[in-house]
Structure 1
Amino acid sequence: MMNIAKEIFTSLSDRPKNLSNLQWLHYDDEGSIIFEKIVLQDEYYNARAERRIFELNSDDIIVKAAGNEKNCLRIVELGSGTATKTCILLRTALKYQGGPINYLPIDVSTAALDEAQSSLKYLVPDVCVMPQVKNYATDDFILPSFDGCTLVIYIGVSIGNSSKEEAKNILHHVYEH
């Protein structure tokens, strides 16, 4: 993990001063628990809207991602948290694949990933969860070789909180893998 004091200093030295690219600092184990409570508030409509998008469009998303039924599909999620919304896509993917699905959640919170793994084991037992405790914005996460299609999801307002350069770096890193 990067030196936090150095990151803050660098961000405050920028013109204009900007701390928004340090949003990942909020999502340690305690921050993830607080965030899960925030998304349940009436004022936080984003999570409900994203859930509704998945409820209405998961079939189309999975079919377009997999190409045809002969392609195996895995799902990679950046900043997965507890994967409550992603469960919708995973159920749909299982329906189309008819077999196990690999799910690679990447998050800075061990607690959130543990909760995701535990709940998904119960809700969608044919999903093989392979979590990585990483900061997808700064750490070198690993996408193992895979003979099939990879659907990378990056839901939430996270990318909007990133600088243009940081967003490009994240997407470039995903593309390289």
Structure 2
Amino acid sequence: MATDKGIALVDRDEDGVDRAFREDVLAGLHHDPKAIPARWFYDAEGSRLFEKITQVEEYYPTRSETEILGARGAEFAELIGPGRAVVEFGSGSSVKTPLLLEAIDPAAYVPLDISGDFLRESAAALGAKFPGLPVHPVEADFMRRVTLPGEVDKLGKLGFFPGSTIGNMVPRTAVDLLRSMRATLGADEGASPLLLIGMDLIKDRAVLEAAYDDAAGVTAAFNLNLVTRINRELGGTMPADAFAHEARWNDDLARIEMHLVATRAVAFEVSGQRFAMEEGETIHTENSHKFTPRTASLLLLAGGWTPLERWTDEQDRFSVILARATDQREAP
């Protein structure tokens, strides 16, 4: 198997806790209104629950994007070409990745993910499926520039960012991420890097809200798992039974919002600091912005990427876009 053990770039304190996790949670709970970045959903259990979400009937994005990746392989191969290193940002279980790797004949695969155990399990499974492909997992926070393994330095790069994860960020943060991706991929070295990215599209409100509040309660469990993680890793005393999952569409900002709603007045500690919430007060845990073709292109251009081609599924629910790193001389 061509998988190495990977490298870890997560900064942990003396207790083994990700420093950024502690800082984000404490800052978010002190904020008014309270909010915690969605990236902290993804411990091992959160990653497992998200993979389960992708299989529920109401959650269309994974099926729609998989349809595109399965149907457009020949076009990907022609536009991307062989021999690149595929760098997947937030690889999760890499369910969609084999469709891309089978189509484009890459020279290496570099999955980046903040959940180290889940990352290594997924990388090992993919390495077994593609025994001749070098796989170099990197445990890292891809929101910042990541130093890639030296084995791929001289290869052209294709960034892969499926799942419309870009929609989890407010526009300013999304632009910063796109720019850091450009830096990670080495925009000024060798062949211009490419980025294949998924972006969800605006559609009927009922369809959107159901996708983030499935009847089986899997998304609710995913949201509430954040409370469990805080209690486990940060010495929290948050009573899980005092919070409920809520998904709501914000039409003004074109996004689904997920919240943890306090079902009663509650007081608790996290990392030795005390917090209190009134009944009905929420912790804002996720945004999922939805796009039109125009707003998707504007976001990519602001982040240093020039769109080359765009594909949608048969129901026009989801889009996959191929973009090229904008040459500095082309930038306004």
Normalised-by-shorter TM-score class = 0.7 to 0.9
**Amino acid in structure 1 at the alignment position of 2:140:** K
Counterpart of 2:285 in structure 1 is none
Q: Which runs of 5+ in 2 are unaligned?
A: 1-17, 187-332
Q: Distance in 1 between matches of 2:95 and 2:52?
A: 13
Per-residue deviation, residues 97-152 of structure 1 (Å, max 9, x unmatched): 6xxx21111111123212222221222212211111112124x4213463342110
Counterpart of 2:234 in structure 1 is none
Per-residue deviation, residues 37-73 of structure 1 (Å, max 9, x unmatched): 111111111111111110011221232123xx5xx31
Pair 1:112 & 2:112 matched: no
Q: Which of 23, 26, 32 pairs up with 2:41?
A: 26
1:23 to partner: Cα distance = 0.7
Pair 1:6 & 2:23 matched: yes
1:9 to partner: Cα distance = 4.9
Does structure 1 conserve the Cα–Cα contact (< 8 Å) formed by 2:80 and 2:104?
A: no
The verdict on how the C-alpha distance between 1:63 and 1:14 changes in structure 2, with shifts beyond 3 A counting, is farther
The verdict on how the C-alpha distance between 1:116 and 1:63 changes in structure 2, with shifts beyond 3 A counting, is farther
Alignment of 1:25-44 (within 5 A): 25-44=40-59
Q: Which has the larger radius of gyration?
A: 2
The verdict on how the C-alpha distance between 1:150 and 1:18 changes in structure 2, with shifts beyond 3 A counting, is farther
**Amino acid in structure 1 at the alignment position of 2:121:** E
Q: Distance in 2 between matches of 1:155 and 1:92?
A: 16
Q: Which of 159, 164, 174 pairs up with 2:171?
A: 164
Counterpart of 2:146 in structure 1 is 141
Does structure 2 conserve the Cα–Cα contact (< 8 Å) formed by 1:65 and 1:150?
A: no
Look up the SS of the partner of 1:174 in the other structure. Answer: helix
Counterpart of 2:66 in structure 1 is 51
1:18 to partner: Cα distance = 6.9
More helix by percentage: 1
Q: Distance in 1 between matches of 2:49 and 2:167?
A: 20
Does structure 2 conserve the Cα–Cα contact (< 8 Å) formed by 1:77 and 1:104?
A: yes
Q: How many residues align?
A: 165
1:168 to partner: Cα distance = 1.4
Pair 1:122 & 2:128 matched: yes
The verdict on how the C-alpha distance between 1:18 and 1:175 changes in structure 2, with shifts beyond 3 A counting, is farther
Look up the SS of the partner of 2:112 in the other structure. Answer: strand
Pair 1:153 & 2:160 matched: yes
Q: Which has the higher contact order (CA 8 A, sep 6+)?
A: 1
**Amino acid in structure 1 at the alignment position of 2:40:** L
Does structure 1 conserve the Cα–Cα contact (< 8 Å) formed by 2:111 and 2:123?
A: no
Does structure 1 conserve the Cα–Cα contact (< 8 Å) formed by 2:88 and 2:112?
A: yes
Does structure 1 conserve the Cα–Cα contact (< 8 Å) formed by 2:76 and 2:103?
A: no
Alignment of 1:52-71 (within 5 A): 52-66=67-81
**Amino acid in structure 1 at the alignment position of 2:49:** I
What is the aligned-residue identity percentage? 26
1:13 to partner: Cα distance = 6.7
